[in-house]
Amino acid sequence: MHVCEGVLGWPVLAAGGAVAAAGVAIGLRRMQVEDTPKTAMLAAVFFVASLVHVPFGPGSVHLILNGLAGIVLGWAAFPALAVALFLQAVLFQFGGLAVLGVNTVVMALPGVAAYYVFRALYGTGRGPMCVFVLAGVLAAGTVLCSGLLLTGALAWGGRAFLRVAGGIVTTHMPVLVADGLVTGAAAVFLLKVRPDVLPPSRRESRR
């Protein structure tokens, strides 16, 4: 779900770069020193997951896991995913440097939204099944929102990309399901072994 170089016009690139820069700045300001290993780990997970492609239809798809990164990291997902996308662009020519801002926003912004929804609903139940369903649904929604953001960016780039943009969400429906299952399972695992990694509910954060 990367935008390649030469596809988007400068207004889209400028807007994406500005939003991404603001998100990275907020993420770095809110990230504590002790959060660095956790942030680096999620950046690596996102980086590796994007390299494992599975054939689907005329192309291929891969896990994204930006929902997992968003739920665990919050605003720190912006710098984490920006670094991962930068390395993908430099090492494997996935995306590009000019579109780094747009790709970062497409990946990180829905993840941050998932973080706040998880915080709001997490306190209503702490059982493994509740966490699995909540994290899984949010992860699937994150992939869907990323696809819609990418669709909007391509549509803003011109009518020539509307057909491609319309096929993005359809192509990534299997990813939506897979991301939900993997993220739900990961959230249950964290609940059992490292519950402090999951974001506190709003009620807990006020104490």
Encoded amino acid at 7, one letter: V
Largest CA distance in the chain: 53
Q: What is the pLDDT of residue 138?
A: 96
Instruction: Identify any residues that bridge with 54 across adjacent strands, giving them in sequence order.
Output: 61
Domains of the chain in sequence order: 10-202 (1.10.1760.20)
pLDDT at 57: 52
Q: Residue ranges of the chain with pLDDT lower than 50?
A: 58-59, 206-207
* pLDDT score of 6: 77
Neighbours of 206 (CB within 10 A): 7
End-to-end CA distance of the chain: 40
Could you report the per-residue pLDDT of 132-158, keeping only the tens digit for each? 999 999 999 999 898 888 888 877 765
